[in-house]
Structure 1
Amino acid sequence: MTDQLDTPVLDNHLHLDPRHGRGLEAVRDFVRLGGTHLLVVNKPSWLLGVEVDEPASFRPVFEETMETVAAATDLLPGRAWPVLGVHPGLISRLVDERGFDPDAARDLMCGGIDVAASFVEEGRALALKSGRPHYEVSSAVWDASNGVIRHAFARGADLDCAVQLHTEASEELTDLAELAESVGLDRGRVVKHYAAGELAGPVPSVMSERDRLERAARSGEPFLMETDFVDDPDRPGAVLGPKTVPRRVRWLLEEGYEAAVHRAHVETPAAVYGIDTEATFDA
């Protein structure tokens, strides 16, 4: 039995891993609590057993994500969309563990972004994912990571698609918004995943904790909601579970934030991704 809410309910960033994790059972949990739409981000390549050595190495990771998204869509009152790209932590694996120099790692990761972009160009994926490490790295690795982001922004501009970012924790990322605009991508199509309640620069995809959400709701600014559910059996309590977004939507409605819920689940998805969650919502 589904505890349906009278609104689309979108989790903007989570991972699903039917091979190793809960997979579609997590989707069923989301739906049972009232969830309707998902943006499913591919897991880091190495967590799916893929050690990349050329851009084409990313393709099986993306294809597996596509299959998972199709299966999730069959279970949802709305639908799921894939977000494809290269996890920024890959640069450390390449440089620290496999002997790549930072520029070579950058070039390989940019090639992975190009493969992801081909899925967007074909209409199979919705958006790209990129970023930079959220931990201390050398200046060479930092510069190389920003080079990958710049490439992702350029491809997003080419394809008129959004780019989700994994970055350091910050409420001030105007440097990245300006970088996007320097290559022709509107900052309103740049999303920082795992965001706090307010953010200068990109659009915040707010982790669905009550204090963060209340700040976002009160701000009056565009925002999205997410769990960053990792679907990793070795990290069962990591980040937030798939039931969280519908639960927090219910809480926001109870607290009188109806306009904020509409902003996060209808207006902002339309502005950032060009998707209509109401038109794809089969109540």
Structure 2
Amino acid sequence: MTDPDTPVLDNHLHLNPDNGRGLAAVDDFRRLGGTHLIVVNKPSWHLGQDVEGGEEFRPVFDRTLDVVAEAADRLPGTAWPVLGVHPGLVTRLVDDRGLSPERAGDLMIEGLELAADYVAEGEALGLKSGRPHYDVPEAVWEASNRVMRRAFSLGADLDCAVQLHTEESEDLTVVAGWAEEAGLPAHRVVKHYASGRLAGPTPSVMSEKDWLREAAERGDPFLMETDFVDDPDRPGAVLGPKTVPRRVDWLEAEGHAEAIRTAHVETPRLVYGVDTEATLDPGGENG
């Protein structure tokens, strides 16, 4: 098991305290040596598809804050929320609700602006946005890019990170350039579900061994994640909450101690401005 003095951060997972494993997943993470979590809100359509404006995202965000506070109490480190609007919502709004792409984009921006209020109040660490990872009509793609660029301008105003859900790619320099144009440094843009190689944003590497080995050998800033979805209808989807601590042990056995420090101490500080060492109490909970 990982040295208890070593921070171990899962940079992107979801917790479903109502219908999923919830805090039991946090306990699994901790038992294997996990110390810190960044918890991203579940997609808003889990509360239904009838959101008509930004305020209706509030129950999703508030429920996320509640479970993050409970998770933090169970960890030797802490947990932070990242709030935003899943880019897949655009398809549900356009295809299922019949909204125009422009109106769908407006509604999603309203949700992002509400999430930004939580960041401004110190209740959330950053924002989540992006664009669909699947083929969509050009008008939907343009609307999604407009939403994402609004997230960058909000991140710049708030001096906070923006996590992105996007198509699979090893080169998002154009997207990072949009962030820079908005005043948000490219390193504060995080591509969730990244492989071991990425140009532009900071990669949040899915904790598959081959991808982690490549990221470790490259030596650039990176984070580690599972994208644990905590969905009882998809029990084997993505990776489980024990994976990041196990992969940290594996990286250590492979001789990548420097990469462990990069992913769990230096890059969280660079991207989010958090100190995973100062917030770690190896002998207790919620350091």
TM-score range, shorter chain: over 0.9
Which structure 2 residues correspond to residues 146-165 of structure 1 after superposition, within 5 A? 146-165=145-164
* 2:38 corresponds to: 39
- Note if 1:233 corresponds to 2:194: no
CA RMSD in angstroms comes to: 1.0
Does 2:182 correspond to 1:183? yes
CA distance in 2 between partners of 1:135 and 1:48 (Å): 23
Query: In the alignment, which residue of structure 1 is the partner of 2:113?
Result: 114
- For residues 272 and 101 of structure 1, the distance between their equivalents in structure 2, rounded to whole angstroms, comes to 35
- Give the match for residue 193 of structure 2: 194
1:81-160 pair list within 5 angstroms: 81-160=80-159
1:257 match: 256
CA contact (8 A) 1:208 1:245 kept: yes
Give the conservation status (yes or no) of the 8 Å contact 1:3–1:32: no
Superposition pairs of residues 68-83 of structure 1, within 5 angstroms: 68-83=67-82
Which residue does the alignment assign to 2:172? Answer: 173
Gaps of 5+ in 2: 283-287
Q: What TM-score results when the alignment is normalised by the length of structure 1?
A: 0.98
Q: Is the 8 A contact 2:187 2:202 kept in 1?
A: yes
Moved over 4 A (4+): none
Q: Is the 8 A contact 2:2 2:245 kept in 1?
A: no
Cα deviation digits, residues 90-110 of structure 1 (max 9, x gap): 000000000100000000000
Q: Is the 8 A contact 1:154 1:184 kept in 2?
A: yes
Question: What is the deviation of 1:49?
Answer: 3.7
Q: Cα distance, 1:3 vs. partner?
A: 6.6
Q: Distance in 1 between matches of 2:47 and 2:281?
A: 33
Q: Tell me the matched-pair count.
A: 282
Any idea what SS the aligned residue of 2:204 has? strand
> Which residue in the other structure is 1:216 paired with?
215
Separation in 1 of the partners of 2:219 and 2:2? 28
Partner of residue 285, structure 2: none
Distance 1:27 1:51 in 2: 31
Aligned equivalents of 2:121, 2:232: Cα separation in 1: 33
1:52-63 alignment, distance < 5 Å: 52-63=51-62
- Write the letter of the residue equivalent to 1:223: F
CA deviations 1:70-119 (Å, max 9, x no partner) are 00000000000000000000000000000100000000000000000000
Could you tell me how far apart the structure 2 residues matched to 1:23 and 1:101 are? Answer: 36
Residue 6 (structure 1) shift: 3.3
State whether residues 131 and 145 of structure 1, in contact with CA within 8 Å, keep that contact through their aligned partners in structure 2: yes
Equivalent pair of 1:175/1:201 in contact (CA under 8 Å): yes
Summarize the Cα distance change of 1:50–1:94 in structure 2 as closer, same or farther, 3 Å threshold: closer
Quote the offset at 1:198 in angstroms: 1.0
SS at match of 1:83: strand
Output the CA distance in 1 between the equivalents of 2:222 and 2:265. Answer: 10
Counterpart residue type for residue 167 of structure 2 = E
- The letter for the 2-side match of 1:64 is R
Query: Could you tell me how far 1:50 is from its partner in structure 2?
Result: 5.8
Classify the secondary structure of the residue corresponding to 1:76.
coil
Q: Give yes or no for contact 2:49–2:92 (8 Å, CA) kept in 1.
A: no
Q: What TM-score do the two structures reach when normalised by structure 2?
A: 0.97
Letter in 2 for 1:200: A
How far apart are 1:218 and its partner, in Å? Answer: 0.2
- The one-letter code of the counterpart of 2:109 is C
Identity score, percent: 68
Unaligned 5+ residue runs, structure 1?
none
Q: Is the 8 A contact 1:191 1:204 kept in 2?
A: yes
Opposite residue 110 of structure 2, the aligned amino acid is G
Amino acid corresponding to residue 252 of structure 1 in structure 2: L
In the aligned structure 2, how far is the partner of 1:40 from the partner of 1:176?
23
Give distance in 1, aligned partners of 2:50 and 2:23: 25
1:35 Cα deviation (Å)?
0.1
Residue aligning to 1:282: 281
Separation of aligned partners in 2, 1:29 and 1:48: 27
